[in-house]
């Protein structure tokens, strides 16, 4: 057993080092494949020997804890916001107030990038992350510790010599690449994309399922040491110490000693900010020395020793050439403004989304208008207004189209929704291609030998028109197909040669092994995402039960709201969708949970599995049986728990708490008897 404990400790140490090198230093020292293999080994060992799980284990990064309500927590010291300034004269007035307040004119300032994210306070006790609290109203914030644990750049434990109680503060944000990926997924699901990375980060931190937060790829920079230390007497030195403790801190902070040096820093980053992989909306200027900060003090809302210089949102005027309309895979119509090319924030802007008919109406956009385009705090250019002085009085207001631009079907707009959509889901070309592309995607059936270009060719050549057609493809249908086309001004050729065809057919065959929840997500029911598909699969066990479910039965499922329930009911009203499912079943796809014991026998009961059950696979099987029979699997012991399934060497802290709370302990055999006895009673 001692060698198991040592192996877990070794894996945790190595994986945490690789995490730090990859996410904080941006210098990976191991391949993704090797990292994943090490992490899989660690998780398997932790499942078999939970008594050896370390509080800084990287396995905690994957999340899984459900938080129904975030606890309100009072900050140790107020988490105040900064006063804002928007021009050099206002900044000069701030500098003057500081100099007058200190009766000095040679003062050191720290200039930092103002990251556009969500402020967070992190509390460490004995070097372990104990609590993460949002700013809230500055006095009280929400405890979002479970979600923050999933952010890989935030240390779960500190290896250096740190105080027993340590508080640091920072900014959680969403990098541009992660933001783009997230919005692509939302648009693919027919959901409204986030307006900007800050909104996306804020929304992510409010999610109740920390496993979902882990998928969002949030990041964090620490910018403030709240705990007073006798050997640190200024802000700049505190940043160096934070870096030494392996917190992620910005490398762009600079000490400045005059107004002109501060202005130089501001002007430098006003030009360079668009080259950063995340958003900044200004520069923060802080008096460096703590004694001087203390002397200047606070107003009721802001510190007198710091201020934020906010960049102006970049905005340009350009001509609206015309409006085109895109059709998504769920039929949602998105209007796109085609613009006279214009330089904005370091890029040439030719197009901007107009979102929906209501947006066009609110801005009162007319044909050939001169429009204002903005990119401040946004990655995606947006139209924010119209220069009516430039409008030709003979032009007409833009009227949203009434028929699909691709198949000419009359559009529909449901009550309570902002989007128009094309109901011709089976014969509208972009919907056909989009649905198939979604079906083969990595998070769905993962047929990676196919791709957008190949799907486009197969649909155009009429080899496939529906997702089920993939499972009827033969070698002779594919071999020799070829098409050359242009994308982003580059020539590309898609061709189906012998090896390509072999890979495609093997990938299609392999996809038949995908589990019910993956298949349910893949068939593309509107609003049913990856997580909701899993919860629906676990609740209903098979497609027949889901198909027969009523509205009331659907909204009983965790996280399934009215919109999703109505969409599921609409999906199963379509005979065409029923035909697709029957065809996929006949092709061998999984439309029920793999265990024949699946049921609702354990509904209303919650379980914790703790201890050694021989192998990691045995433990995993118990956990699967709980969920597949309607029970809830929990990670921690509380008075809401129904049973603990105890193996050998159960964790002593869990055992002690279970006894204190009177939680029944049962063996694996007793758990299986519970399921079997429930069977016999039904």
Cβ atoms within 10 Å of 230's Cβ, excluding its own: 5
Note whether 94 and 82 are within 8 A (CB): no
- Residue pointed to by tokens 């107030």: 97
Tokens of 581: 């499912």
Q: Which of 5, 114, 396, 443 is catalytic?
A: 114
Q: Looking at the DSSP assignment, which residues form a beta bridge with residue 173?
A: 219
What spatial distance separates the first Cα and last Cα of the chain, rounded to whole Å?
Answer: 43
What are the percentages of helix, strand and coil residues in the chain, rounded to 5? 40, 20, 40
Contacts of 586 (CB under 8 A, 6+ apart): none
Would you call 114 a catalytic residue per the annotation? yes
Angle (CA) 477 479 482, round 5°: 105
Note whether 526 and 330 are within 8 A (CB): yes
CA nearest to 599, candidates 621, 618, 623, 625: 625
CA nearest to 456, candidates 441, 436, 470, 473: 436
Note whether 155 and 26 are within 8 A (CB): no
| Dihedral sign (CA 623, 153, 226, 127) | positive
Note whether 630 and 593 are within 8 A (CB): no
Angle (CA) 20 24 28, round 5°: 65
Taking the C-alpha atoms of residue 114 and residue 117, their distance in angstroms, rounded to an integer, is 9
Q: Looking at the DSSP assignment, which residues form a beta bridge with residue 336?
A: 324, 353
Note whether 239 and 249 are within 8 A (CB): yes
Cβ atoms within 10 Å of 260's Cβ, excluding its own: 9
**What CA dihedral angle connects 358, 360, 362 and 363, to 10 degrees?**
170
Strand 606-610 with 632-633, pairing: parallel
B/e letters for 96-106, b = 16+ CB within 10 Å, e = fewer, are eebeeebeeee
- Residue pointed to by tokens 């509380």: 638
Note whether 116 and 76 are within 8 A (CB): no
What stretches of 244-361 adopt beta strand conformation (E)? 254-256, 280-287, 306-310, 315-327, 333-344, 347-353
Taking the C-alpha atoms of residue 547 and residue 566, their distance in angstroms, rounded to an integer, is 12
Note whether 659 and 632 are within 8 A (CB): no
Rg (CA), the chain: 29
Strand 370-374 with 315-327, pairing: antiparallel
Q: Enumerate the active-site residues.
A: 114
């Amino acid at each position: 057993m001692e060698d198991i404990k040592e192996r877990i400790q070794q894996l945790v140490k190595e994986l945490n080092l690789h995490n730090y090198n990859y996410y904080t230093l941006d210098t990976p020292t191991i391949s993704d494949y090797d990292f994943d293999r090490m992490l899989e080994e660690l998780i398997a060992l932790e499942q078999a020997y939970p008594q050896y799980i370390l509080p800084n284990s990287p396995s905690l990064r994957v999340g899984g804890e459900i938080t129904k309500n975030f606890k309100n927590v009072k900050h140790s010291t107020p988490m105040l916001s900064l006063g804002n300034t928007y021009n050099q004269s206002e900044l000069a007035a701030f500098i003057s107030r500081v100099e007058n307040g200190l009766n000095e004119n040679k003062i050191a300032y720290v200039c930092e990038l103002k990251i556009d994210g969500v402020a967070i306070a992190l509390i460490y006790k004995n070097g372990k992350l104990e609590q993460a609290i949002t700013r809230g109203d500055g006095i009280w914030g929400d405890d979002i510790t479970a979600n923050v644990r999933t952010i890989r750049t935030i240390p779960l434990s500190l290896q250096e010599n740190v105080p027993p109680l340590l508080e640091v503060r920072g900014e959680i944000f969403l990098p541009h690449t992660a933001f783009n990926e997230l919005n692509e997924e939302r648009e693919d699901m027919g959901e409204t994309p986030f307006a900007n990375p800050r909104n996306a980060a804020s929304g992510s931190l409010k999610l109740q399922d920390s496993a979902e937060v882990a998928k969002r790829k949030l990041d964090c920079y620490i910018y403030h040491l709240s705990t007073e230390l006798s050997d640190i007497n200024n802000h700049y030195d505190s940043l160096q110490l934070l870096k030494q403790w392996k917190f992620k801190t910005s490398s762009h902070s600079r000490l400045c000693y005059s107004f002109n040096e501060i202005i130089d820093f501001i002007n430098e980053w006003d030009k360079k900010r668009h080259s950063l992989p995340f958003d900044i909306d200004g520069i923060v200027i802080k008096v460096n020395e703590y004694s001087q900060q203390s002397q200047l003090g606070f107003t009721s809302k802001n510190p007198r020793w710091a201020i934020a210089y906010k960049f102006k949102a970049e905005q340009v005027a350009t001509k609206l050439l015309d409006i085109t309309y895109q059709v998504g895979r769920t039929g949602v119509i998105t209007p796109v403004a085609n613009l006279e090319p214009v330089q904005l924030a370091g890029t040439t802007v030719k197009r901007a989304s107009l979102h929906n008919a209501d947006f066009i109406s609110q801005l009162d956009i007319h044909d050939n208008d001169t429009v204002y385009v903005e990119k401040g705090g946004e990655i995606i250019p947006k139209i924010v207004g119209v220069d009516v002085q430039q409008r030709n009085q003979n032009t007409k207001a833009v009227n949203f189209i009434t028929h699909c631009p691709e198949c000419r079907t009359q559009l529909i707009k449901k009550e309570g929704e902002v989007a128009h959509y094309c109901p011709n889901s089976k014969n509208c070309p972009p919907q056909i291609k989009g649905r198939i592309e979604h079906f083969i995607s990595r998070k769905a059936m993962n047929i990676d030998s196919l791709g957008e270009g190949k799907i486009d060719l197969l649909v155009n050549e009429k080899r496939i028109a529906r997702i089920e057609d993939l499972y009827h493809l033969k070698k002779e249908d594919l071999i020799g197909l070829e098409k050359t086309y242009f994308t982003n001004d580059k020539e590309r050729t898609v061709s189906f040669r012998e090896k390509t065809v072999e890979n495609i057919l093997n990938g299609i065959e392999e996809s038949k092994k995908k589990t019910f929840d993956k298949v349910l997500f893949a068939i593309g029911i509107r609003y049913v995402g990856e997580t909701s598909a899993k919860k629906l699969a676990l609740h209903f066990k098979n497609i027949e039960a889901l198909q027969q479910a009523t509205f009331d039965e659907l909204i009983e499922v965790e996280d399934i709201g009215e919109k999703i329930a109505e969409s599921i009911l609409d999906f199963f009203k379509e005979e065409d969708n029923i035909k697709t499912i029957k065809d996929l079943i006949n092709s061998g796809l999984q439309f029920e949970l793999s265990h024949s014991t699946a049921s609702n026998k354990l509904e209303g009961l919650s379980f914790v599995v703790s201890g050694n059950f021989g192998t990691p696979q045995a433990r995993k099987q118990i956990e699967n049986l709980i969920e597949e029979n309607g029970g809830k699997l929990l990670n921690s012991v509380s008075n809401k728990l129904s049973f603990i399934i105890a193996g050998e060497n159960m964790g002593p802290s869990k055992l002690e708490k279970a006894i204190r709370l009177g939680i029944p302990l049962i063996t694996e055999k007793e758990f299986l008897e519970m399921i079997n006895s429930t069977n016999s009673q039904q």
